[in-house]
Amino acid sequence: MPKKYRILFLDLSINEEGFKIQMAHLGVSPETVDIIIEKAPVILKEGLDSKSSTLYADAVRNAGGIVEIQEDNPAEKVVTHAIAIAPFKDFTMCPECGLKQHKRKVCIKCGFRFRKIENGLESGNVAGH
């Protein structure tokens, strides 16, 4: 069986009004965009093949959204109609640009390098640009 993928919306890379305008060009209503932004991180689309997931993610990125393509695992789903939202502990906010995102070593928006926390002590943030 071929792998399926889902698109996870994380945040905006442009201002909210610009994102709404760009998403309207894709046929998404302003009300739906408001819900997407408010509920972020939120799954936008599920059950896509590899090519479709890439096209979908690229369209949202070009509209000003920050998205992630994830493998869609139907075995993980308990309730199919619920919106899947990752737990807060999986996210961080960049102190440089304020972007909320999955924890990683470098901010996906501005390139800020997050410091590593060991034994409750931080070893120093470094601007990535």
- Domain hosting residue 34, numbered range: 4-76
Asked whether the beta carbons of 67 and 79 are under 8 A apart, the reply is no
Reported pTM: 0.56
Total structural domains in the chain? 2
The tens digit of pLDDT for each residue in 3-13 reads: 999 999 999 99
* Residue 81 covered by a domain: no
Q: How far is CA 18 from CA 23, 38, 64, 73, 92, in A?
A: 9, 16, 8, 33, 24
The tens digit of pLDDT for each residue in 18-39 reads: 999 999 988 889 899 999 999 8
Same domain, 10 and 71: yes
Same domain, 26 and 60: yes
Same domain, 12 and 60: yes
Same domain, 19 and 70: yes
